[in-house]
Amino acid sequence: MRGASSRTLGQVTEDVGPALDAATGTDLGEQLFAVVDLLDSSGPLRRALTDPARPGADRVALAERLLSGQVGDQALDVVRRLVDGRWSAARDLADALEQLAVLATVSGSASGTGSADAVDQVEEEVFRVERLLAGDRALRAAVANRYAPERSRQALLEELLGDKVSPGTLLLVRRAVLRGRGLTPERALETYGELAAQWRRRVVALVTTAVALSAGQRARLVEVLTRQYGRRVHLDEVVDPGVVGGVRLEVDGELVDATMTARLAESRQRLAR
């Protein structure tokens, strides 16, 4: 998202930040996702709500006529602010609304706890489900099969995850699988995790080791990375015996591969020269 769309999304995100932080449960996220589905279903509506030749007040009035009584006041306020802005492309409106729906869902997970632990839990669960889908071809095919009835795919997700993850996580997984908007379920979940980390101004580090890190090792790694990047760090861990030993670390698109496997491969390359 670029230009006018990026500026509008940035400003609206800042303006509605307190409302997103105060979200309770998944209600606000679900309502915003419902509006995303409405926009995705109608090109003429997207164009009408983003038409730069149409006064902002007219676009807002159209949104109010369509949504009043269908969504709550908070969701309607978010939509009003978005359609009153400028957009480089009509599709950007739905993309922006989806991002805010994700943030509302993640923030709502902390309602009633007064703690960021619940939000951490959602981020961790989303990551685990993403890794599960990436590593299990049969499961991925079953939940992402567009020829299967949506009701049966949703029932499968409920059976697999319903009592194992938080409601916020389950909502995001359902969206990724049933409404990926052109993304694979794994990539959609990865995107949701990145949005959550950016919202909380954190760096996400993916660490891969042959055996699970101890609590002390994890704490030391988080401390080192926090100092290096100047922001809080959320650690996602993958255990892969194939790395043999050492650590592979991916942070903000940078890869540091200090595994034994990488070192052996480098040695072989040197011997072959």
Instruction: Give 15-41 pLDDT, tens digit per residue.
Output: 998 888 888 889 999 999 999 999 999
Structure tokens at 175: 């969206």
Of the ranges 2-11, 39-48, 99-108, 214-223, the best mean pLDDT one: 39-48
Q: Is residue 113 over pLDDT 50?
A: no
Tell me the average pLDDT across 47-74.
95
pLDDT band at 237 (very low <50, low <70, confident <90, very high): confident
Query: What percent of the chain has pLDDT above 90?
Result: 36
Three-state secondary structure call for residue 180:
coil
Three-state secondary structure call for residue 85:
coil
pLDDT band at 267 (very low <50, low <70, confident <90, very high): very low
Candidates 203, 253, 196; CA nearest to 225 is 203
pLDDT band at 253 (very low <50, low <70, confident <90, very high): low
Tens of pLDDT, residue by residue over 141-152, are 888 888 888 888
Q: Is residue 201 over pLDDT 50?
A: yes
Q: How far apart are CA 187 and CA 263, in angstroms?
A: 29
Q: Is residue 114 over pLDDT 70?
A: no
**pTM of the predicted structure, to 2 decimals:** 0.73
Contact of 110 with 118, CB cutoff 8 Å:
yes
Region class of 3: left (phi > 0), else alpha (psi between -120 and 50), else beta: left
What is the four-CA torsion angle of 97, 103, 104, 107, rounded to 10 degrees? -170
Structure confidence at residue 73 (pLDDT): 93
Tell me the average pLDDT across 64-89.
95
Q: Is residue 68 over pLDDT 90?
A: yes
Structure confidence at residue 22 (pLDDT): 81
Structure confidence at residue 111 (pLDDT): 56
Q: Is residue 80 over pLDDT 60?
A: yes
| Total Cβ atoms within 10 A of residue 119 | 20
pLDDT band at 110 (very low <50, low <70, confident <90, very high): low
